[in-house]
């Protein structure tokens, strides 16, 4: 079965669409194929899978990790969510730009954002389950976040009053992040 690129954005971010075999019993997709991902330039070794469930109106993010750097393929397996990625790579021509995509269990889209992107999502349905395929193991000593409503980024979230964690309420701005020594780990490679 084929996985296709349906959108390319922000120097490395891809929206992927797996081919689905559907009949009266349900459906089958190949959500990951190493050979097809390599054709798209995604050669990372995926070392961790995460699965989260959030209620309607929950916003998580914008999260990232610098050591080890972590790219993520995100997909929604139940419900619907608005997935966002922000380029935080120094020297990138799309630094500070964001991309958002409504992804659902029904449309089966996936969003790949390489290391150097902050990621987040908000839940649009009564609940949503999101699965992440990660290219780095989680490290609480080398992870951080960007403020979800940083005016310098200007994400157009499709909800007005999100439910946030305490950590996400006080995250740094992109400008604050770029002044840190750790931000040098995300220099853009041409």
What does the alpha-carbon distance between residue 86 and residue 94 come to, in Å, rounded to a whole number?
9
What does the alpha-carbon distance between residue 152 and residue 97 come to, in Å, rounded to a whole number?
9
* Spatial CB neighbours of 76, under 8 Å, sequence gap ≥ 6: 83, 103, 104, 105, 128, 129, 130, 131
What does the alpha-carbon distance between residue 138 and residue 118 come to, in Å, rounded to a whole number?
14
Please give the positions annotated as active site. Answer: 63, 132
Contact by Cβ (8 Å): 155, 121: no
What does the alpha-carbon distance between residue 88 and residue 177 come to, in Å, rounded to a whole number?
9
The kind and range of the H/E element at 23 are: strand 20-23
């Amino acid at each position: 079965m084929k996985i296709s690129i349906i959108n390319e954005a922000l120097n490395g971010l891809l929206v992927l669409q797996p081919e689905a075999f559907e009949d009266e019993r349900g459906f089958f997709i190949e959500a990951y194929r190493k050979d097809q991902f390599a054709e798209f330039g995604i050669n990372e070794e995926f070392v961790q899978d995460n699965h989260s469930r959030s209620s309607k109106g929950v916003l998580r993010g914008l999260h990232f990790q610098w050591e080890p750097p972590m790219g993520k393929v995100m997909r929604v397996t139940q419900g619907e969510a608005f997935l966002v990625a922000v380029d935080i790579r120094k020297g990138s021509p799309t630094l500070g730009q964001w991309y958002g995509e409504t992804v659902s269990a029904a449309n089966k889209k996936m969003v790949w954002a390489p290391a150097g992107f902050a990621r987040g999502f908000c839940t649009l349905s009564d609940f949503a389950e999101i699965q992440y395929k990660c290219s780095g193991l989680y490290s609480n000593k080398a992870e951080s976040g960007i403020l979800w409503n940083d005016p310098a980024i200007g994400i157009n979230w499709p909800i007005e009053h999100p439910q946030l964690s305490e950590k996400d309420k006080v995250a740094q701005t992109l400008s604050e992040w770029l002044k840190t020594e750790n931000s040098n780990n995300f220099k853009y490679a041409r």
